Structures are given as structure tokens and as C-alpha cells.
């Protein structure tokens, strides 16, 4: 084993451990701020895995998009609404946790079993390396042009929708008749569905 | 028949089809293989296949631009822009009918007749939903421009989903549809139930999307390609347990989108909380896109797992028909009743998919088209009633006959058609489905379908009875205080047009259903994907 | 086209192999050297800028500034550093000690890693990675997490507000910054910093990108100042409103890390401006021409050493010119309000940088010769 492969193996093990432990931490920790920070760590470690696969552009994009944008926004949201609220105790919490842990463990066992028994066609195509950036661009403007363009529609629409939902100035009156608008319009007197459930 | 023999037969058939269609397969494989740098840039994209979507996109952008000029201008100009966009989209779709098939975007999109048919259903459902929503949006004080833009974006996603033949395109268009749907269902943001519906839909939908992505990643790992054709070929040569797992994941997402039991939990709450015109779109357009996706992925990709997914779909169909129709019995809210009945209707459509025969697929397409008109007709009536009275309870419809014969007549005809009473359009659709099922020996499905149809007729008729049979003094308070019928307000005329149009087609379409039958059969005949599957299953039937 | 120039790694590796080491071991021994060098260079760069800051601010305010520690007070920053190093390391009682410690680290590490891609000459950089400038953009996006972390962990409302402001500011200005860089990348057809400079070497000062991207240059410079939280954009630590923002509770070495990160970032941004817009290591008159006039072959060892030295000197000189401008700006401009800051970022710089990008693309199509066809 050469020095290069040893280094690669060590890096892989460390990164994988960070990913797995970090992801468990995201799910299991009760402090949501810790979860959010750990999520950033997981994203970064995944970027490291991409680097090991010789996909540096993807790795950098992962850091820029997931760590730099998504994770920061998650943290923002958490810190802006950082209300310490004591939630109502949920009945049979231990049983519920045990059940969901069992389901997850079962799913994991199934996946591991299936993945191990599958004859993967290894090794895959060789890594493109430094040329990858140009090749990604080429694919984005040829066979993945349609999804690429639709993604822009998706983002535009999501942005508009977010603004519509977040802004305050909903029309108070009907533009045509000038009557007071009726936001509930149907079944005004009902309580939210969740409350119905709780009864 | 043993498994080995069947898989050998499928492989042989697949090879035969591969030989029969060398041009398509070869070009697809060439794009997905590691092409030399720059080589891809010289290939033709055939982008004209998405011209109908381009019309929708242009309408969306025009809507947003007009909306910049203020709410008054938007109220005036947004409707015509939407009509023009969707109308030209429908015209362009008509031009694509039976056109020579060429994969566009190097295998990301295919405008075969199936795609054209489903896209037409979706575009039409958006058009009708928009017609019935102007007055509703005005009255609820929500901005019209953004509403139309988001609905058009959802249409765009749904239409692309129908023709997408690449996992990445499938996922992105699915997300466009889903995200737009979340936004639409939360559009009445002052109403807590609308926000709650949006949040629930978002959470469940994101989970479904994540599951789909996981399944797609497994498929990519197995085949080394994102093209559905290549994946289908790869799965035929290796029917590993991993592929079965991928099937389960993908199927779960498809079932979520078409709201099949047990993936239906989001439906009633979302349908009740969302604005009613949005529910109309979700129950038709979004569902049609879900069925198109199901056909593309399950029939096109998982041909090797035919028996497995058909078994799963049989279970889903039986559960959907039973639960949807039985629970609908107990509902007091009109919207919620239609939500559950739409679950049951999806179950009927699934019969056609399980058959996998020419008739089965044609019946699916036909029933989707029929469902479009009868369901949107029913929704138009409900919206009109709620605009006038602000109520949605079934008991409030009592004695409506005296005050508003139009709603009573329209709603009665549409509900009868939904229940499958001759000579309505729905009857022919349903009978075709059951006929296809019976011919394919799906006795269980057909029997369950028949029984649940009877149940559904019961609750549909009880609404009609409520409206028609009650004496004037028995009428509900809401109906007693019924306002004067006034069509002059902005947005009322389109609503009237949509209502009368849908009801007319529902009522007369049944008698003149021959063109529809032909249309559905051509849709199946002009789709290589379905022809291939039909040939395979008939081959298996013989073997 | 351009001569390969000095290749120190190759020489070093050959020298070690002469002593009987295997190539792999030689590479392993080589690896830490440039990193160490850059770390030292960055720290020295910071010390120089701190001294400059003190002296220039004094000059602006007609004071003398530090004068006792060394000649002209050049040792003053060193004394400052030493003071911070030996100060007591305080962690507030109700603070989250783990995050409190991790915050400054997360702020300083990405900035130092970004030095990977700074070229001082054709081969004088640590790693000519293909993603080049993109690495800096993505690593600088990690910084807000560190700021949010320290703001949150301090358990102090000023700190939290400062952290949130810093993150908001950083996100807002990253987008126009990246778009400005994208325009450059479009002209050079490469993300690599070496290629970006290489594309500006043809005709000396005339071929620098600043003439082709004047708007991009201004956008980049404004955004870089905002990213470094320099006045007029130093809202996260605005003393009058937030005490010292996210740094409020920090003392000793942890505070020094923030301080260090700020100045390293400033120097880094200045170097990047010189790389992207001012021809990087290039001399205003191309060295090749000079060598040609002096009848010296371009690959002669002496010329190569001179070229390398000139490259380093030019890069440092250009960078410090920009640092000087930044310091002057700090001591002469008033601070903007937070809403003005966000308005400037989202409503002015973002559309402007988009237009700049589109105009560049159009020009590239119209005049491929001048805009890197």
C-alpha cells in the first residue's frame, strides 16, 4: 500500500465517521442549535468525500450551497425565533422512540443487506478530474438543459411564493366591489384541524 | 410459469424491441455514455417538443410583469394573458398529436401521444381552475397575479412531468409541481387552516421527494445512467433485490402523488384547508401528472418487475377504492367528501394500470379526461355556492333547488357522473375500466370496484337528495338567506362559462363518447413505451 | 506561451532525491513547507497592515501614532499580539463553552485555507487547483457560521445581534461578489487564478482586467470591504449600537483570532483584487519585453529569479496599495445604516452585477479577441 492510498483511506474513514456521527447528532440532540451546527459539519464532511472522489467542483458547490447558504439560513431561522418554549410532554415517549428506532434499524439492516449483495459494476467510469467543471457545463447545456432551465422556474416561483406568504399587505378589500375581503371564505367558525385532532 | 422463464422471455422481448427501434435506443445510449468533450454540443436538442410548456412559461412571466403595475391592472389583464397562454399551449399540443417521435433534449423529454394526452388534461384543468378562481380570489382578498403565476408554474411542472424521460428531469419537474402546490395550498395565509394544510403538505411532500431521490440514486447506481430507457434495460438484465427496493421507494412517491391509500393521509386535510380552486387543480391536474409519472417509471422502467409492482398496485387500488369511498360516506363537508371520493376515483384509474393491456391504458386516459370535466364541474358548483353563501357544509345545501336551479342541476349531473350513472360521461369511463379489468382477469379489482361504486353512488345521491327533495320550509338557513343571483361581477362570467361547459360535456359527452374513445386509443397506440409493455405482457400471457 | 518559470517543488524534490529519498517521501516533506510559508506570510502581512492602519489613521487625524516600539513603531503590532497572547482567556459563566471556543476557529480557518490559491508567480502558489477562485468563494461562505456560532454561544444579546448582522451582511454581499468574479471567469475561460492572471499578461498594464471590467472592479471592491466588515460596512461590530458585536464577550487569544481573521481577510481580498483586476504578479511592462530589450533569454536562471522576485513584489505592492485605500476609507467615511447596507447589496449591487455579467457575455460574443473568446 502506497502512502497515497493510505492517506486516502484514513481520510475516507475520518470523513465517514464525521458524517455518520454528525448525522446521528443532528437527529438525536435535543438542542436544535447544536443540531443545526452539526448539520453544517455533516455537509462539510460530505464535501470532503466528494474531494476524495476527485470531484472538486462538486465539493466546492456543496460547501457554497449547503454550508454557506442553506445551513446559514437554517441557523438564521432558528436564532430569529429562538423562543425557549416548554413543549407539552408526549405520552409514551419512550415507547415511541423505541418503535421508531426499531423501524430505522430494520431499514438500515435491509439497506445494508441489499447493498452488500448487489453486484455493483465496479470500478465506475474514471474521474474526469480538473476538466470536470467544463464537462458539467457542457452537460448542463445539452442533455440536462431542460432540468437546468426548469430549476430556474422552480426557484423563481419558490421565491415569489415565499414573498407572497411572508409579506403583510394582503388586500383588505375586494378590488371590484370594495367589500371587506373574507379570508376564511368557507367554514369560518371552524378551529384548526390539529385542535380537532386533539379532542 | 417459473420466474426464470419469465425473465428470459422479457429479456428476449426487450432485445426484440431494441432491434425494432435501433435509432431511439442508440441515440439515447450515446448521450448517456461518456461522450468526448464538446461532442454533446453538436447534437440537436429538438427543443420544439416543449413549445406548449414554453407558452405556459411565457404566460407566467407576462403575468408577473403585469402584476408589477398594481393590483387593479393585474385584475384586468391577468385573466386574458392566462387564457392566451393556456389556449396556445393546447393548440400546440394538438399539433404534436401523432407527430413523428424524436427524443428532445438528448433524451430528457419525449412528446409521445401519452404525454400529449396527459399534458392536455393538465393544461385544460388549469384553464378551468383559473376560470373558476378569479371571483374566489377577489372575494378572499388574495392577490390575483401571483396566484395565477404560481398556478401556471405548477402546470408547467406537471406538464413536463408527463413527458420527462430522465430521472433528473422527472425530479425537477416533480418538485416544481410540488413546491407550487405547497404555496397554493397555503395561499390564504390569514386562514390558519390554510397555513396548516400548506405546512403538512410541505412536510409530507418533502419526505416523499426525499424517498424518491433515494430510489433514483439506487437506480442510477445500478445502471450508471439517469435515462429511464437505459435504466429499464439495465434492470432487465439484473433483477437484484436492490432494484426491488428502488421500486418500493419510487412507488411510494408515485402513490403519494396520486394519493393512493395508505399514502393518502395528507389529502383530506390539504383539500379542506386549501382554497377551493386550488383543490380543483390538485385533484385533477396534479393527479394526472402523478399517473403519467407512474406510467413512465413503472411501465417504462420496471418492466422486469411487472408482477411485483402490479401486485403492489392491486393492493393500493383495493385499499384506495374501499377506504376512499367508505370514509366519504361519513363526511359533512363537501370539500372533504370530494377529497375522499377523489381517493376512491384514483383507485378506479389504477385498475387500468394494473391490467397493462391496450384497453387498460386507453381506459385510464379516457377516465382521466372524463374525471377532469365532471370533477371540475362539481368544484365549479361548490365554489359558486361558497361564494354566495360562504358555506361548504353538505347540510347547508338543503333545498337549494328552489333558489338556484343552475347549481343544483350542475352539481347533480356531475355527482351522478362521478358515481357512474348512465348516460353520463363517467359511466362510460368507468364501464370501460371495468371491462378492461374483467378482460384481463382482474376479478378482485373489478368486484371491489363495482361494490365501492355502489357505495359512492349512495353518498353522491344523498347530496342530490338534500338539494332537490327538501320542501322550501325544510331548507337550511343559508339557503333561506340566499342572495340574488348576480352574474355581473368581475370573475363571475368565467365561472359561469366553466360551470356550464363542464356540465355540458359531462352530460352530453357520454352519449357522444365515441371520439373520446378513439382519442384515448390513439393516445395508447401512438406511445411506443405502452406498446412495448402491452406486447411484453401478451407475450407473457401466452408463455 | 509563457515560460514555465521557477518550479521550486521540482527543484526541491530533485535535491532530496539526490540525497537518496524516494519521490513520495520527497513530496511528503515538501507539502508542509509552502503551507508554513504562507501562514507566516499571512501573519506578517497582518502585522504590517496593523502597523499601517495605526500609522495611517494617525496621519489622517494629524497624530503621530505609535513611535516607541521599534523605529517608527514597527514593533507595536507585535507588542499588541504578545499582549493578547498572554491575556487571561475568559469564558463567560453562562456561555456555551464549546461553541464559544469553536466560533473563532471557524472564522479564521477558512480564511487561511483560501491562501491556497493565491499566486505570486507562474508556479509560486501552493496549489493550482482547477476550481481556483471558486474555492475562495465557497470557503468564505463558511465564515458566517463561525460568526453566528460565537454570537449565539456568548449568551449576550449584543453578540447575537452582531452575529446575525454579520451573517446577513455576508450572505447579501457574497452574491454580487460571486457574480463579479463570474464575469472575470467568463473572460478567462477558467476558474484557476493562474489562468486568470495569465490572461492579463499579454500587454502589461493595458491588458489588465480593470480596463475591461471597471464596473466589476468596483462591485468586487465594495463587496470585499463588506465581507471584511470594514468601515463603512462594519455594522456587526458597530460600537455605538452593539458594544462590539459578536466579539463583545471575547478576550485574549480568542479575540486575537477574530482580529487576525479580519486582517488576513483584508489582505487576502486585496491580493485577490490585484489578481482578478490588476494583473496579479504582472509588471506594468511585461518582463518578457524587458528581457528582450536587454537581450537576455527568458529562461536564463538570473532572469527567472528576477521574474519570480518581481512577481512577488508586484503582488505585494498592488495588494498593499489596496490595503492603503481600505484603511483610508475606514478613517474617512461614516458608517451606513443596516437597512441602507442591505438595500445597497440587494437592490443596487445585485442587479448591477447581473447586468455586468450579461454585458460581459455580450461583449465576449461580439469581440472575442478582447474579451477572451
- Distance between CA atoms of residues C114 and C224, nearest Å: 14
Nearest to B361 by CA among B446, B436, B445, B442: B436
- Interface contact C141-A4, CB threshold 8 A: no
The pLDDT of residue A171: 56
- Interface contact A153-B153, CB threshold 8 A: yes
Burial status of residue C362 (CB atoms within 10 A of its CB: 0-12, 13-18, 19 or more): exposed
Q: Which of B45-49, B392-396, B438-442, C288-292 has the lowest mean pLDDT?
A: C288-292
Residues 110-129 of C with CB under 8 A from A: 129
Chain C interface mutation, best of A44, A45, A75, highest count of C Cβ atoms under 10 Å? A75
Q: Is the pLDDT of residue C352 over 70?
A: yes
Percent of chain C at pLDDT > 70 equals 95
All cell numbers assigned to A141 = 447545456
The pLDDT of residue A128: 78
Q: Where are the alpha helices (DSSP H) in B302-440?
A: 306-329, 334-355, 358-389, 400-403, 405-419, 425-439
Kindly report, as residue ranges, where domains of CATH 1.20.120.1200 are found in chain A. Answer: 1-81
- Interface contact C148-A76, CB threshold 8 A: yes
Q: What is the pLDDT of residues B458-496, one digit of tens each?
A: 999 998 988 888 887 888 888 888 887 778 877 888 888
Distances (CA, A) of C49 to C38, C55, C309: 16, 10, 21
CA distance A59 to chain B (A): 18
All cell numbers assigned to B414 = 356531475
Q: Do chains C and B touch (3 or more CB pairs under 8 A)?
A: no
User: Strand, helix or coil at B139?
Assistant: helix
Residue of B40, B45, B386 lying closest to A139 (CB–CB): B40
The pLDDT of residue C62: 87
Contacting residues of A for B57, CB less than 8 Å apart:
153
Chain A interface mutation, best of C25, C116, C136, C144, highest count of A Cβ atoms under 10 Å? C144
CA distance A10 to chain B (A): 25
**H or E segment and range at residue A36:** helix A32-52
Q: Please tell me which residue of chain C has the smallest CA distance to A129.
A: C130
Q: Please tell me which residue of chain A has the smallest CA distance to B244.
A: A114
- Interface contact A175-B333, CB threshold 8 A: no
- Interface contact B172-A117, CB threshold 8 A: no
Q: What is the pLDDT of residues B29-74, one digit of tens each?
A: 444 445 566 666 667 778 888 899 999 999 999 999 998 888 888 8
- Distance between CA atoms of residues B482 and A153, nearest Å: 43
Residue of B141, B146, B390 lying closest to A172 (CB–CB): B141
- Distance between CA atoms of residues B505 and B371, nearest Å: 11
Q: Is the pLDDT of residue B532 over 90?
A: no
Q: Which of B422-436, C30-44, C345-359 has the lowest mean pLDDT?
A: C30-44
Contacting residues of A for C129, CB less than 8 Å apart:
56, 130
In this structure, the dihedral spanned by the alpha carbons of residues B416, B420, B422 and B427, taken in order and rounded to 10 degrees, is 130
Q: Is the pLDDT of residue C113 over 50?
A: yes
| Mean pLDDT along residues C251-262 | 85
- Which residue has better confidence, B365 or C235? B365
Count CB pairs under 8 A between chains A and B: 190
Rg (CA), chain C: 22
Residue of C130, C138, C145 lying closest to A71 (CB–CB): C145
The pLDDT of residue B1: 36
The pLDDT confidence band at residue C7, using thresholds 50, 70 and 90, is low
Distances (CA, A) of B464 to B363, B375, B382, B505: 27, 15, 13, 19
Residues 207-226 of B with CB under 8 A from A: 221-222, 224
Q: Where are the alpha helices (DSSP H) in chain C?
A: 8-18, 23-30, 32-60, 76-86, 97-113, 133-140, 143-153, 157-188, 193-198, 209-212, 214-227, 239-242, 252-277, 287-293, 301-332, 338-343, 350-366
CA distance A78 to chain B (A): 17
- Interface contact C148-A72, CB threshold 8 A: yes
- Distance between CA atoms of residues A96 and A109, nearest Å: 20
Q: Please tell me which residue of chain C has the smallest CA distance to A57.
A: C131
CB B210 within 8 A of CB B197: no
- Distance between CA atoms of residues C41 and C18, nearest Å: 29
- Distance between CA atoms of residues B349 and B449, nearest Å: 10
CA distance B237 to chain A (A): 12
CB A117 within 8 A of CB B240: yes
Sign of CA dihedral A50, A51, A52, A55: positive
All cell numbers assigned to C201 = 499578461
Chain B interface mutation, best of A174, A185, A189, A194, highest count of B Cβ atoms under 10 Å? A185
Query: Residue A107 contacts by C-beta under 8 Å, 6 or more apart in sequence?
Result: none
- Distance between CA atoms of residues A21 and A25, nearest Å: 6
Q: What is the pLDDT of residues B88-141, one digit of tens each?
A: 999 999 998 888 888 888 888 888 888 999 999 999 999 999 999 888 888 877
Distances (CA, A) of C224 to B395, C46, C317: 66, 17, 18
Residue of C131, C152, C164 lying closest to A57 (CB–CB): C131
CA distance A172 to chain C (A): 28
Q: What pairs with residue A180 in β-bridges?
A: A173
Contacts for C41-45: CB closer than 8 Å, 24+ residues apart: C41/C115, C42/C112, C42/C115, C42/C264, C42/C267, C42/C268, C43/C260, C45/C263, C45/C264, C45/C267
The pLDDT of residue C1: 31
CB A150 within 8 A of CB B173: yes
- Interface contact A146-B160, CB threshold 8 A: yes
Contacting residues of B for A53, CB less than 8 Å apart:
none
Percent of chain B at pLDDT > 90 equals 31
Neighbours of chain C (3+ CB pairs under 8 A): A
All cell numbers assigned to B82 = 392566462
The pLDDT of residue A78: 85
Q: Please tell me which residue of chain B has the smallest CA distance to A135.
A: B37
Q: Could you state, in order of their start, the residue ranges of all structural domains in chain B?
A: 3-33+45-542
| Mean pLDDT along residues C271-290 | 82
- Interface contact A153-B156, CB threshold 8 A: yes
Distances (CA, A) of B108 to B293, B296, C244: 14, 12, 54
The pLDDT of residue C88: 83
Contacting residues of B for A158, CB less than 8 Å apart:
179, 183
pTM of the model: 0.86
Note whether A40 contacts C: Cβ–Cβ < 8 A: yes
- Distance between CA atoms of residues B17 and B145, nearest Å: 48
- Distance between CA atoms of residues C150 and C156, nearest Å: 10
Distances (CA, A) of C142 to A95, B421, C43, C174, C260: 39, 64, 21, 11, 16
- Distance between CA atoms of residues B317 and C58, nearest Å: 81
**DSSP tag of B40:** G
Hey, which CATH number is domain A1-81, 3.40.50.920, 3.90.550.10, 3.30.200.20, 1.20.120.1200?
1.20.120.1200
Contacts for C344-352: CB closer than 8 Å, 24+ residues apart: C344/C222, C345/C169, C345/C172, C345/C173, C345/C175, C345/C176, C345/C223, C345/C226, C346/C172, C349/C173, C349/C176, C349/C219, C349/C222, C349/C223, C350/C175, C350/C176, C350/C179, C352/C176, C352/C215, C352/C219
**ipTM of predicted complex:** 0.85
- Distance between CA atoms of residues B387 and B403, nearest Å: 15
* Greatest mean pLDDT among B64-73, B82-91, B358-367: B82-91
Q: Which of B273-287, B448-462, C157-171, C224-238 has the lowest mean pLDDT?
A: C224-238
Give the distance between the most distant pair of CA atoms in chain C: 71
Query: Residue A171 contacts by C-beta under 8 Å, 6 or more apart in sequence?
Result: A181, B71, B141, B142, B143
User: Strand, helix or coil at A168?
Assistant: coil
- Which residue has better confidence, A11 or C293? A11
Q: Please tell me which residue of chain C has the smallest CA distance to A128.
A: C130
Q: Is the pLDDT of residue B386 over 60?
A: yes
Percent of chain B at pLDDT > 70 equals 92
CB B467 within 8 A of CB B412: yes
**DSSP tag of C117:** G
Q: Name residue, grid cell 482580529.
A: C259
Q: Is the pLDDT of residue B218 over 80?
A: yes
Chain C interface mutation, best of A7, A8, A33, A37, highest count of C Cβ atoms under 10 Å? A37
CA distance A15 to chain B (A): 21
Residue of C129, C138, C168 lying closest to A68 (CB–CB): C138
Q: What is the pLDDT of residues B220-258, one digit of tens each?
A: 888 888 888 888 888 888 778 888 888 889 999 989 988
Tens of pLDDT along chain A (199 residues) come to: 677 788 888 999 999 999 999 999 998 888 888 889 999 999 999 999 998 888 888 898 999 999 888 898 888 888 877 666 667 777 788 888 899 999 999 999 998 888 888 877 777 777 777 788 888 888 888 888 899 999 999 999 999 988 888 876 555 565 556 666 655 554 444 444 444 444 3
Contacting residues of A for C99, CB less than 8 Å apart:
37
Query: Residue B117 contacts by C-beta under 8 Å, 6 or more apart in sequence?
Result: B365, B369, B519, B520, B523
CB B10 within 8 A of CB B68: no
Query: Average pLDDT, whole number, for chain C?
Result: 83
- Interface contact C144-A44, CB threshold 8 A: no
CB B108 within 8 A of CB B53: no
Q: Please tell me which residue of chain A has the smallest CA distance to B31.
A: A143
Q: Please tell me which residue of chain A has the smallest CA distance to B36.
A: A135
CA distance A183 to chain B (A): 5
CA distance A140 to chain B (A): 10
Amino acid at each position: 500500500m502506497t502512502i497515497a492510498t493510505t492517506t486516502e483511506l484514513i481520510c475516507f474513514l475520518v470523513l465517514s465517521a464525521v458524517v455518520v456521527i454528525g448525522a446521528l447528532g443532528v437527529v438525536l440532540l435535543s438542542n436544535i442549535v447544536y443540531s443545526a451546527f452539526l448539520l453544517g459539519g455533516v455537509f462539510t464532511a460530505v464535501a470532503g468525500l466528494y474531494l476524495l472522489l476527485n470531484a472538486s467542483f462538486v465539493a466546492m458547490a456543496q460547501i457554497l450551497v449547503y454550508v454557506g447558504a442553506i445551513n446559514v439560513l437554517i441557523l438564521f431561522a432558528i436564532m430569529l425565533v429562538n423562543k425557549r418554549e416548554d413543549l407539552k410532554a408526549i405520552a409514551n415517549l419512550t415507547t415511541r422512540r423505541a418503535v421508531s428506532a426499531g423501524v430505522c434499524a430494520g431499514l438500515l439492516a435491509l439497506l445494508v443487506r441489499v447493498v452488500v449483495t448487489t453486484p455493483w459494476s465496479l470500478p465506475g467510469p474514471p474521474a474526469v478530474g480538473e476538466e470536470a467543471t467544463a464537462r458539467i457545463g457542457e452537460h448542463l447545456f445539452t442533455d440536462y438543459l431542460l432540468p437546468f432551465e426548469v430549476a430556474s422556474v422552480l426557484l423563481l416561483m419558490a421565491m415569489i411564493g415565499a414573498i407572497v406568504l411572508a409579506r403583510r399587505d394582503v388586500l383588505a378589500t375586494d378590488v371590484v366591489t370594495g367589500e371587506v375581503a373574507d379570508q376564511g371564505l368557507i367554514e369560518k367558525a371552524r378551529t384548526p384541524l390539529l385542535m380537532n385532532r386533539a379532542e | 410459469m417459473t420466474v426464470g422463464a419469465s425473465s428470459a422471455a422479457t429479456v428476449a422481448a426487450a432485445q426484440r424491441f431494441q432491434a425494432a427501434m435501433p435509432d431511439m435506443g442508440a441515440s439515447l445510449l450515446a448521450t448517456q455514455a461518456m461522450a468526448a468533450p464538446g461532442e454533446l454540443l453538436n447534437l440537436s436538442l429538438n427543443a420544439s417538443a416543449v413549445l406548449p410548456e414554453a407558452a405556459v412559461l411565457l404566460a407566467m412571466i407576462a403575468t408577473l410583469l403585469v402584476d408589477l403595475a398594481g393590483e387593479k391592472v393585474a385584475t384586468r389583464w391577468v385573466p386574458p394573458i392566462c387564457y392566451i397562454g393556456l389556449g396556445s399551449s393546447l393548440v400546440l399540443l394538438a399539433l404534436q398529436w401523432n407527430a413523428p417521435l424524436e427524443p428532445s433534449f438528448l433524451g430528457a423529454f419525449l412528446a409521445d401521444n401519452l404525454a400529449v394526452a396527459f399534458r392536455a388534461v393538465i393544461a385544460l384543468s388549469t384553464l378551468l381552475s383559473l376560470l373558476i378562481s378569479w371571483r374566489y380570489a377577489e372575494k378572499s382578498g388574495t392577490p390575483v397575479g401571483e396566484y395565477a403565476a404560481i398556478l401556471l408554474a405548477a402546470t408547467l411542472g406537471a406538464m413536463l412531468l408527463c413527458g420527462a424521460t430522465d430521472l433528473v428531469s422527472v425530479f425537477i419537474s416533480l418538485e416544481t409541481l410540488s413546491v407550487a402546490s405547497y404555496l397554493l395550498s397555503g395561499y390564504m395565509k390569514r386562514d390558519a387552516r390554510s397555513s396548516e394544510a400548506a405546512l403538512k403538505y410541505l412536510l409530507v411532500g418533502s419526505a416523499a421527494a426525499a424517498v424518491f431521490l433515494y430510489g433514483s440514486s439506487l437506480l442510477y447506481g445500478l445502471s450508471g445512467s439517469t435515462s429511464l430507457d437505459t435504466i429499464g434495460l439495465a434492470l432487465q438484465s439484473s433483477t437484484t433485490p436492490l432494484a426491488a427496493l428502488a421500486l418500493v421507494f419510487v412507488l411510494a412517491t408515485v402513490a403519494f402523488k396520486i394519493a393512493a391509500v395508505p399514502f393518502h393521509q395528507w389529502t383530506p386535510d390539504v383539500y379542506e384547508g386549501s382554497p377551493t380552486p386550488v383543490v380543483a387543480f390538485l385533484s385533477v391536474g396534479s393527479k394526472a401528472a402523478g399517473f403519467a409519472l407512474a406510467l413512465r417509471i413503472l411501465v417504462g422502467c420496471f418492466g422486469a418487475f411487472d408482477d411485483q409492482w402490479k401486485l403492489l398496485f392491486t393492493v393500493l387500488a383495493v385499499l384506495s377504492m374501499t377506504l376512499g369511498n367508505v370514509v366519504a360516506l361519513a363526511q359533512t363537508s363537501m370539500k372533504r367528501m370530494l377529497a375522499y371520493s377523489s381517493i376512491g376515483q384514483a383507485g378506479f384509474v389504477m385498475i387500468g394500470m394494473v391490467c397493462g393491456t391496450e384497453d387498460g391504458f386507453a381506459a385510464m386516459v379516457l377516465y382521466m379526461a372524463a374525471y377532469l370535466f365532471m370533477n371540475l364541474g362539481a368544484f365549479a358548483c361548490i365554489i359558486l355556492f361558497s361564494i354566495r353563501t360562504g358555506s361548504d357544509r353538505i347540510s347547508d345545501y338543503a333545498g337549494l333547488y328552489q333558489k338556484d336551479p343552475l347549481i343544483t342541476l350542475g352539481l347533480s349531473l356531475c355527482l351522478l357522473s362521478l358515481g357512474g350513472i348512465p348516460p353520463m360521461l363517467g359511466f362510460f369511463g368507468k364501464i370501460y375500466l371495468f371491462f378492461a379489468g374483467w378482460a384481463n382477469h382482474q376479478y378482485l379489482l373489478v368486484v371491489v370496484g363495482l361494490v365501492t361504486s355502489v357505495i359512492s353512488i349512495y353518498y353522491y345521491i344523498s347530496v342530490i337528495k338534500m338539494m332537490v327533495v327538501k320542501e322550501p320550509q325544510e331548507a337550511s338557513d343559508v339557503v333561506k338567506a340566499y342572495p340574488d343571483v348576480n352574474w355581473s361581477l368581475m370573475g363571475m362570467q368565467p365561472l359561469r362559462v366553466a360551470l356550464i361547459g363542464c356540465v355540458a360535456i359531462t352530460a352530453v359527452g357520454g352519449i357522444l363518447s365515441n371520439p373520446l374513445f378513439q382519442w384515448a386509443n390513439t393516445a395508447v397506440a401512438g406511445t411506443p413505451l405502452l406498446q412495448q409493455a402491452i406486447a411484453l405482457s401478451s407475450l407473457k400471457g401466452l408463455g | 506561451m509563457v515560460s514555465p518559470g521557477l518550479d521550486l517543488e521540482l527543484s526541491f524534490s530533485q535535491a532530496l532525491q539526490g540525497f537518496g529519498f524516494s519521490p513520495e517521501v520527497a513530496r511528503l516533506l515538501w507539502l508542509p513547507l509552502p503551507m508554513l510559508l504562507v501562514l507566516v506570510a499571512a501573519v506578517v502581512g497582518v502585522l504590517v497592515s496593523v502597523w499601517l492602519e495605526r500609522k495611517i489613521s494617525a496621519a489622517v487625524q494629524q497624530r503621530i501614532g505609535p513611535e516607541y516600539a521599534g523605529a517608527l513603531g514597527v514593533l507595536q503590532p507585535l507588542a499588541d499580539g504578545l499582549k493578547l497572547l498572554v491575556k487571561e482567556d475568559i469564558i463567560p459563566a453562562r456561555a456555551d463553552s464549546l461553541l464559544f471556543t469553536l466560533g473563532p476557529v471557524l472564522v479564521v480557518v477558512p480564511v487561511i485555507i483560501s491562501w491556497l490559491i493565491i499566486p505570486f508567480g507562474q508556479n509560486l502558489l501552493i496549489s493550482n487547483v482547477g476550481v481556483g477562485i471558486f474555492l475562495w468563494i465557497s470557503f468564505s461562505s463558511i465564515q458566517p457560521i463561525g460568526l453566528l456560532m460565537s454570537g449565539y454561544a456568548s449568551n449576550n444579546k449584543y453578540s447575537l445581534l452582531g452575529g446575525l448582522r454579520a451573517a446577513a451582511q455576508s450572505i447579501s454581499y457574497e452574491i454580487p461578489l460571486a457574480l463579479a468574479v463570474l464575469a472575470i471567469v467568463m473572460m478567462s475561460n477558467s476558474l484557476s487564478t493562474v489562468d486568470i492572471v495569465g490572461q492579463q499578461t499579454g500587454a502589461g498594464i493595458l491588458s489588465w482586467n480593470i480596463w475591461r471590467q471597471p464596473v466589476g472592479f468596483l462591485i468586487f471592491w465594495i463587496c470585499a470591504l463588506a465581507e471584511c466588515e470594514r468601515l463603512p460596512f462594519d455594522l456587526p461590530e458597530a460600537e455605538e449600537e452593539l458594544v462590539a458585536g459578536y466579539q463583545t464577550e471575547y478576550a485574549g487569544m480568542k479575540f486575537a483570532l477574530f482580529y487576525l481573521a479580519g486582517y488576513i481577510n483584508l489582505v487576502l481580498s486585496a491580493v485577490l483584487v490585484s489578481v482578478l483586476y490588476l494583473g496579479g504578479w504582472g509588471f506594468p511592462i511585461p518582463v518578457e519585453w524587458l528581457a528582450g530589450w536587454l537581450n537576455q533569454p527568458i529562461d536564463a536562471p538570473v532572469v527567472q529569479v528576477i521574474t519570480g522576485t518581481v512577481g512577488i513584489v508586484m503582488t505585494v505592492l498592488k495588494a498593499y496599495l489596496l490595503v492603503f485605500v481600505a484603511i483610508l476609507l475606514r478613517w474617512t467615511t461614516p458608517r451606513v445604516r443596516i437597512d441602507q447596507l442591505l438595500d445597497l447589496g440587494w437592490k443596487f449591487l445585485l442587479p448591477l452585477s447581473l447586468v455586468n455579467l450579461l454585458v460581459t457575455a455580450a461583449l465576449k460574443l461580439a469581440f472575442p479577441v478582447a474579451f477572451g473568446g
